[in-house]
């Protein structure tokens, strides 16, 4: 195996024996093959002009499946590979004139059995390392990871019935470009930057899907203690699963709590009507082992990030959607988009109530609509100098102790600054009680990582209000924490919006070759974080 798609990759170069995330060698290779199948399907659809919704849906699903901490199940991935090959072969015309000879191996390769699938997965053909030139490899992977993140967001929008053909078209074009040896580094760089535009469009679509379906997020205090009832914990990003679980648990005596990236569900008006929707339990994804143990009740993982489960709760953790882990129970979706959580509810009734691990409340719900409602107050605070700077600290959290930097950075920020956040990065500082500035909390949480879109909308609105030419003239600094591929997509979105001088940490991506990293540094001023003191000086005081 060779995988370097996330921030925790071994030695910041690549996981080669097993994933730091727990992904085994065979699963990593099968995921590479699944991506290879996606490339083949993309080439078929572009070169041969076939149009097929099932293929579009499949491509988005497969890309999301390979995101970090989503699917660890080799059998599930083999099934998806076979499904993709069947779709590819239906779409590929058979012709006796030999016109398919120029098609790449990802289109023409045909396995006879599972052994051949596994052998192909283990071969160099499908590996990241198949591309020898390190800059081309770097650009191909940067594009692939951006498209993976974009697909995750598109998947969520599609689940809610929102879709856009143009987004699928770009995904196909981008994936096909990664097997086109005629493309230069400049060509691929153009694709990477174009990806940012489509990520913005995808996040806008998802924002529309979420807000039209569940209302606009509003300021909300979320309980972090527990009640004395049996309960279900729901994690991940899928709001439709949230809705169905809340509906099905109504009147059962079973409470529902959110974990990690599901916290922002509390901010949506549609979910406030459930009085058994109690609060949020625990922190970001990487603290799940101890928290799932002490929660006592069943856990539903709707998307990433799942980590290999501990024995203490292996019999009460359920997966659904693209999530997979060998041996865990899976909740399927029916043809109408419905899921039956009755088994989880029955399981909850037999479990003890959650053990309290903290008390208090956290405040969030500062997506664009809510911030616009406070616009006068915010603009006045900036004009009067009460707010000197905003710092976007959105993104992901992770296991490494080096991420304490973000807690220390938040604590060290001068009191006339406000943190704008989204994604699970917030757990490094959202319980610090950093106070408020004239009633505006110093940590404004817009929601999940996809709600970085809200932060961009807010920035563009401020640019308009202050009549500025350039988004970079706003008093906003960017100190973004990344971990998985959705954060890569968000980064490309910010670049597309013209944001410069983004600080990225805790380390720069291993998949950026020195030359590709230079392009980002020279054209966009992207930089690595250093020490808290130095960074406060650079980002706030200069």
Q: Which residues define the annotated binding site?
A: 3, 6, 15, 21, 237, 261, 305, 396, 424, 449, 484, 486
In 3-state terms, what secondary structure has residue 219? coil
Q: Which of residues 448-477 bind ligand SF4 (CB under 6 A)?
A: none
CA 445 to chain centre: 16
Q: Indicate whether 262 belongs to the interface with ligand SF4 (CB under 6 A).
A: no
- Over the window 49 to 68, marking each residue x when it contacts ligand SF4 by CB under 6 A and - when it does not, the resulting string is -------------------x
Cα–Cα distance between 508 and 506 in angstroms, integer? 7
Residue 303 as a binder of ligand SF4 (CB under 6 A): the answer is no
Question: Would you list which residues are annotated within the binding site for hybrid [4Fe-2O-2S] cluster?
Answer: 237, 261, 305, 396, 424, 449, 484, 486
Among ligand SF4, ligand SF3, none, residue 487 binds (CB under 5-8 Å by kind): ligand SF3
The window from 8-16, 145-153, 463-471, 473-481 that contacts ligand SF4 (CB under 6 A) reads 8-16
Nearer to ligand SF4 (CB atom), residue 237 or residue 240? 237
User: What are the contacts of 370-375 at 24+ separation with CB within 8 A?
Assistant: 370/216, 370/217, 370/218, 370/219, 371/444, 371/446, 371/454, 371/458, 372/458, 372/461, 374/440, 375/461, 375/465
Which of ligand SF4, ligand SF3, none is residue 479 near (CB under 5 to 8 Å by kind)? none
Assess 23 for contact with ligand SF4 (CB under 6 A): yes
Contact indicator for 81, 30 with CB cutoff of 8 Å: yes
Q: Annotated binding site for [4Fe-4S] cluster, which residues?
A: 3, 6, 15, 21
Q: How many residues bind ligand SF3 (CB under 6 A)?
A: 16
Q: Are 286 and 398 contacting, i.e. CB atoms less than 8 angstroms apart?
A: yes
64/341 with CB nearer ligand SF4 = 64
305 binds ligand SF3 (CB under 6 A): yes
The 3-state DSSP class for residue 138 equals helix
Q: Kindly report the three-state secondary structure assignment for every residue of 423-450.
A: CHHHHHCCCCCCCEECCEECEEECCCHH
| Contact call for residue 424 and ligand SF3 (CB under 6 A) | yes
Cβ-closest position to ligand SF4:
19
Q: Per CB under 6 A, which region of 3-11, 162-170, 183-191, 382-390 contacts ligand SF4?
A: 3-11
Name the residue nearer to ligand SF3 (CB basis): 305 or 437.
305
Give the single-character DSSP code of 236.
S
504 forms beta bridges with 480, 528
Regarding 145 and contact with ligand SF3 (CB under 6 A), the answer is no
Min dist CB 11 to ligand SF4, Å, is 10
The 43-82 contact track toward ligand SF3, x by CB under 6 A, reads --------------------------x-------------
Considering only the stretches 7-15, 405-413, 414-422, 445-453, report the one whose residues sit in contact with ligand SF4 under the rule CB under 6 A: 7-15
Give phi and psi for 363, each to the nearest 5.
Answer: -115, 135
Closest CA to 43 of 97, 84, 2, 98: 84
Q: Which residues contact 465 (CB under 8 A, 6 or more apart)?
A: 375, 379
**Minimum CB distance to ligand SF3 smaller for 71 or for 248:** 71
* Residue 444, strand partner residues: 420
| C-beta closer to ligand SF3: residue 40 or 509 | 509
Min dist CB 453 to ligand SF3, Å, is 13
Alpha carbons 143 and 211: distance in angstroms, whole number: 29
Residue 149 touching ligand SF3 (CB under 6 A): no
Residues facing 477 on adjacent strands: 391
What is the Rg, in whole angstroms, of the alpha carbon atoms belonging to the chain? 23
Helix (H, G, I), strand (E, B) or coil at 477: strand
Task: Closer to ligand SF4 by CB, 31 or 430: give it.
Answer: 31
For residue 506, whether the previous peptide bond is cis, meaning omega lies within 30 degrees of 0, is yes
Tokens of residue 378, six digits: 């915010």
**381-400 positions binding ligand SF3, by CB under 6 A:** 396
Chain residues that interact with ligand SF4, rule: CB under 6 A: 3-6, 8-9, 15, 19-21, 23, 28, 68
């Amino acid at each position: 195996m060779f995988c370097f798609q996330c921030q925790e990759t071994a030695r910041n170069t690549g996981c080669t024996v097993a994933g730091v995330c727990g992904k085994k060698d065979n699963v990593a290779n099968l995921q590479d093959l699944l991506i290879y199948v996606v490339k083949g399907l993309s080439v078929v659809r572009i070169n041969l002009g076939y149009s097929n919704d099932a293929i579009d849906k499949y491509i988005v699903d497969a890309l999301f499946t390979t995101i970090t901490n989503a699917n660890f199940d080799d059998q599930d991935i083999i099934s998806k590979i076979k499904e993709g090959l069947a779709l590819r072969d239906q779409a590929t015309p058979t012709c006796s004139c030999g016109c398919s000879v120029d098609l790449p191996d990802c289109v023409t390769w045909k396995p006879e059995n599972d052994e051949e699938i596994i052998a192909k997965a283990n071969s160099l053909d499908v590996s990241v390392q198949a591309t020898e030139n390190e800059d081309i490899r770097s650009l191909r992977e940067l594009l692939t990871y951006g498209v993976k993140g974009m697909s995750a967001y598109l998947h969520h929008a599609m689940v809610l019935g929102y879709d856009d053909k143009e987004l699928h078209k770009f995904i196909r074009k981008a994936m096909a470009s990664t097997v086109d040896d005629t493309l230069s580094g400049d060509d691929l760089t153009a694709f990477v930057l174009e990806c940012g535009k489509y990520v913005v469009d995808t996040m806008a679509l998802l924002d529309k899907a979420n807000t039209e379906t569940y209302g606009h997020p509003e300021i909300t205090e979320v309980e972090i203690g527990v009640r004395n009832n049996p309960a279900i914990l729901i994690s991940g990003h899928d709001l439709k699963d949230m809705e169905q679980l809340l509906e099905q648990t109504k009147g059962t005596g079973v409470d529902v709590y959110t974990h990690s990236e599901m916290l922002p569900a509390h901010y949506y008006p549609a979910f406030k009507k459930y009085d058994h929707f109690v609060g949020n339990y625990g922190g970001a994804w990487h603290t799940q082992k101890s928290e799932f143990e002490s929660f006592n009740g069943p856990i539903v993982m709707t998307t990433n990030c799942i980590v290999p489960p501990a024995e203490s709760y292996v019999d009460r953790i359920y997966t659904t959607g693209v999530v997979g882990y060998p041996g865990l129970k899976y909740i399927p979706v029916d043809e109408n988009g419905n899921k039956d959580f009755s088994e989880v509810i029955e399981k909850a009734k037999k479990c003890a109530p959650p053990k309290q691990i903290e008390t208090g409340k956290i405040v969030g719900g500062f997506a664009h609509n809510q911030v616009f409602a406070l616009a006068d107050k915010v603009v006045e605070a900036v004009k009067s100098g009460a707010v000197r700077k905003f710092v976007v600290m959105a993104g992901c959290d992770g296991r490494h102790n080096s991420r304490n930097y973000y807690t220390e950075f938040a604590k060290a920020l001068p009191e006339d600054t406000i943190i704008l956040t989204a994604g699970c990065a917030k757990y490094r500082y959202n319980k610090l009680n950093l106070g408020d500035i004239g009633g505006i909390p110093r940590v404004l949480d817009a929601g999940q990582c996809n709600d970085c879109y809200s932060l961009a909308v807010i920035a563009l609105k401020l640019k308009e209000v202050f009549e500025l030419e350039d988004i970079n003239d706003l008093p906003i600094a960017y100190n973004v924490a990344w971990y998985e591929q959705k954060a890569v997509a968000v980064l490309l979105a910010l670049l597309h919006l013209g944001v410069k001088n983004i600080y990225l940490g805790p380390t720069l991506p291993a998949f950026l070759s020195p030359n590709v990293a230079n392009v980002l540094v020279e054209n966009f001023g992207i930089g690595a974080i250093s020490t808290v003191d130095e960074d406060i000086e650079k980002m706030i005081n200069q």
